[in-house]
Chain A
Amino acid sequence: MLRFFASRLLQSLLALIIIITATFFMLRFVPGGPFTTEKAVTPEILRNLEAHYGLDQPLWKQYLDYLGSLARGDFGPSFKYPNRTVNEILADKLPVSLELGVLSLLVALLIGLPLGILAAVRRNTWVDYVASSFGMVGISIPTFVVGPLLVLALAIHLGWFNASGWYSPIDRMLPCLVLGIAYAAPISRLTRGGMLEVLSQDFIRTARAKGASELRVVMRHSLKGGLLPVVSFLGPAIAGILTGSFVIETIFQIPGIGREFVNSAFNRDYTLVLGTVILYAVLIMALNLAADVVQAWMNPKVRLEA
């Protein structure tokens, strides 16, 4: 288990270095810079600005300097917000996006798991058909269609919610529901598939023959095996929810990190873009790693292959 964990950790670190390097150099080679704005800046001011941020140094030195400060946990100053560091901006916006992501994932699991289990246990009944159609609908209608439509119906026409904003707890409901439903759909499909496979196996028949109640058969005997496909989907799902929040944050005007990222890219705010990319990468990889470990714990086959 330790070996498995170590090899995955090493792999993630390698990926992280690739990401940092690729993003760093890509940013330097794109046309336009942080100080090319509509109003012309005199060459002298431009030189001073570049000297201030160390942009006049040779590229390899900039790269090493950046890695050095990164090792100390310092993302550097923002190019576009004077007097603010990237650390401050990220610390400001991250909690909002994390709250949105965690709540949405909870919604996805709370809807998706029971629906999938019910569909599998009541296979080929109306329960199954309703649950399966929900899965297909949820997969096919994108968040940027569902979101605005729900705002139109529930917020603007019925007035139950605010159309946008992130102030009171009730403002959380609509965005988290929209993002959560999008992932509840694939989760319910995977749960149903996984449970069906387990429920058809011999040891389930044995359990039933020994008089175990249906509830016990599901909870004690099938759940662990049946949820395996869901666990391996959690890694991609979490990445999807994090990036999916770009759209949600735009629709509902939530002051999270997704909107900030798109803006910073438009502004060529190199340090902020890099900081955001690294943050996303670390988050996604840490959560993927966690999902891998849970999967290995649940499924010895995965553990032994590593």
Chain B
Amino acid sequence: MSASVTSPVASPAAAPEEGSSLWHDAWLRLRKNRLAVFGAATLIIVALACFVGPFFSPYGYEEQNLDLGAAGPSAAHWLGSDTLGRDLLVRLLYGGRVSLGVGLAATFVALTIGVVYGAIAGYSGGKRDAVMMRAVDIMYSLPFTIFVILLMVFFGRNIILLFVAIGAVEWLTMARIVRGQVMAVKRMEFIEAARSLGFGRRRIIFRHILPNILGPIIVYTTLTIPGVMLLEAFLSFLGLGVQPPMSSWGVLIKDGAEKMEEFPWLLIFPGTVFSLTLFSLNFLGDGLRDALDVRASKD
């Protein structure tokens, strides 16, 4: 695939020119997609603001100012303050850390389980594959959201459990996609070559197959993150997710919805930032899918 190998024609001792690799092409295509670039830029700004922003703020996220109470946006509090006089902007940034953190961590859980499971099923084929995928089919039809709610109610609402529970719901799609891709790649000649060299199964899967299906994995990871963040916010909105004094965007939206009649900014700002982030992730995911030319396999 790289141009350097396929040029026996004596190219003068010039530095090994970076040919247009698959990834380079994808990058060029992605850069032309305005919506995807917009999404990526927004995400970078939001993430930077959340992780760096609070250091520059004069307010702590728990710092109350009861004399002030809930006040609309002003020069001192750009996005206003809540009923306890806490600065909304700082709370929004801290909440973003949690929301983005949960999004990434739970996606990582889903990614790990899904890729390993899907790769094993796809590479094994035959009866093992049939049993493993039938199990996935059955799990697809389970009302998982309900189980996550039960877990969160019963085992206290701790954040590690939140990662695991959400990750456990979201790995199914990833497993299906990885399986389909692995089945396509494993019939190729270079895999046969690796097998004839006596490489073990694990080495073939992780060193030879997975790097070749990185494109679809990246695309679906990007598209899983908004789903995960949505589930976290959904749980927090029901009062089952992140607990005070910690906050997340879901918690802020829930609080805002309760007080929106008098203090609409408490709902509008968190709602906008959250939606904008999901929007950007979806645009970026769609853009990556087009750029890497990944089509959803139908099985």
State the A residues within 8 Å of B (CB). Answer: 11-12, 14-15, 18-19, 22-23, 26-27, 30-32, 136-137, 139-142, 144-145, 147-149, 151-152, 156, 235-236, 239, 242-243, 246-247, 250-251, 261-262, 265-266, 273, 277, 280-281, 284-285, 288
Whether A277 and B143, one on each chain, are in contact in the complex, defined by CB atoms closer than 8 angstroms, is yes
Out of A136, A145, A151, which one reaches B253, CB within 8 Å? A145
Q: Counting CB contacts under 8 A, is B60 at the interface?
A: no
Q: Mark B145-157, 1 if CB is under 8 A from A, else 0.
A: 1110110011100
Bound-state Cα–Cα, A141 to B268, Å? 12
- State whether B275 touches A281 (Cβ < 8 A): no
If A144-B234, A280-B143 touch, whether A273 touches B282 (CB-CB below 8 Å) is no
Is A26 a contact of B138 with CB atoms below 8 Å? Answer: no
Contact present for B278 and A140 (CB under 8 Å): yes
Residue among A11, A247, A273 making CB contact with B134, cutoff 8 Å: A11
Cα of A157 to Cα of B234 in the assembled complex, Å: 26
CB pairs A–B below 8 angstroms (24 shown): A11-B138, A11-B141, A18-B138, A136-B282, A142-B230, A142-B274, A142-B275, A144-B233, A144-B254, A145-B274, A147-B257, A148-B260, A148-B271, A152-B261, A156-B261, A243-B143, A243-B145, A243-B146, A246-B238, A261-B149, A262-B149, A262-B238, A262-B240, A284-B143
Q: Which of A14, A139, A236, A250 contacts B138 (CB 8 A)?
A: A14
- How many angstroms from the CA of A156 to the CA of B259 in the assembled complex? 12
Q: Which residues of A contact B238 (CB under 8 A)?
A: 246-247, 250, 262
A-B contact count (CB 8 A): 113
Instruction: Known A-B contacts: A31-B155, A32-B154, A265-B149. Give 11 more (CB < 8 A).
Output: A22-B147, A23-B147, A140-B278, A144-B233, A148-B256, A152-B260, A247-B234, A251-B257, A261-B146, A261-B149, A280-B143
Asked if residues B257 and A148 are in contact (CB atoms below 8 Å), the reply is yes
In this complex, the member of B143, B250, B261 whose beta carbon has the largest number of chain A beta carbons within 10 angstroms is B143
A140 touches B282 (CB 8 A): yes
A266 touches B275 (CB 8 A): no
Contact B271 A145 (CB under 8 A): yes
Contact of A136 among B233, B240, B283 (CB under 8 A): B283
Residues of B within 8 A of A140 (CB): 226, 275, 278-279, 282
Chain A residues near B150 (CB-CB < 8 A): 23, 26, 265, 273, 277
- In the assembled complex, the Cα of A262 lies from the Cα of B254 at a distance in Å of 16
User: A141–B153 contact, CB under 8 A?
Assistant: no
Question: Do B155 and A30 touch across chains, with their CB atoms under 8 A apart?
Answer: yes
Min Cβ gap B129→A in Å is 14
A266 to B274, CA, bound (A): 28
In the complex, A136→B149 CA distance in Å? Answer: 27
Instruction: List B residues 229-281 near A (Cβ within 8 Å).
Output: 230, 233-234, 237-238, 240, 250, 253-254, 256-257, 260-261, 264, 267-268, 271, 274-275, 278-279
Number of B interface residues in the complex (CB < 8 A): 39
Tell me whether B62 is interfacial, beta carbon within 8 Å.
Answer: no
**Nearest Cβ in chain B — how far from A281, in angstroms?**
6
Chain A residues near B192 (CB-CB < 8 A): none
Given contacts A148-B267, A152-B261, is CB(A265)–CB(B153) below 8 Å?
A: yes
Q: Pick from A26, A27, A144 the residue with the most CB of B within 10 Å.
A: A144
Is there contact, CB below 8 Å, between B233 and A285? no
User: Complex Cα distance A235/B137, Å?
Assistant: 12
Using Cβ atoms and an 8 Å threshold, which residues of chain B touch A139?
A: 278, 282
Residues of chain A with a CB closer than 8 A to B142's CB: 15, 18-19, 281
From residue B286, how far is it (CB to closest CB) to chain A in Å?
Answer: 8
Assembled-state Cα–Cα distance A14/B279 (Å):
38
Q: Across the interface, which residues of A come within 8 angstroms of B137, CB to CB?
A: 11
Whether the pair B143, A239 counts as a contact (CB closer than 8 A) is yes
Question: Nearest chain B CB to A34's CB is how many angstroms away?
Answer: 12
Residues of chain B from 65 to 91 with CB closer than 8 A to chain A in the complex: none
Cβ 8 A contact of A15, one of B138, B147, B153, B253: B138
Partner of A149, one of B145, B254, B267, B283: B267
Chain B residue numbers with a CB within 8 Å of A144 are 233-234, 237, 250, 253-254, 257
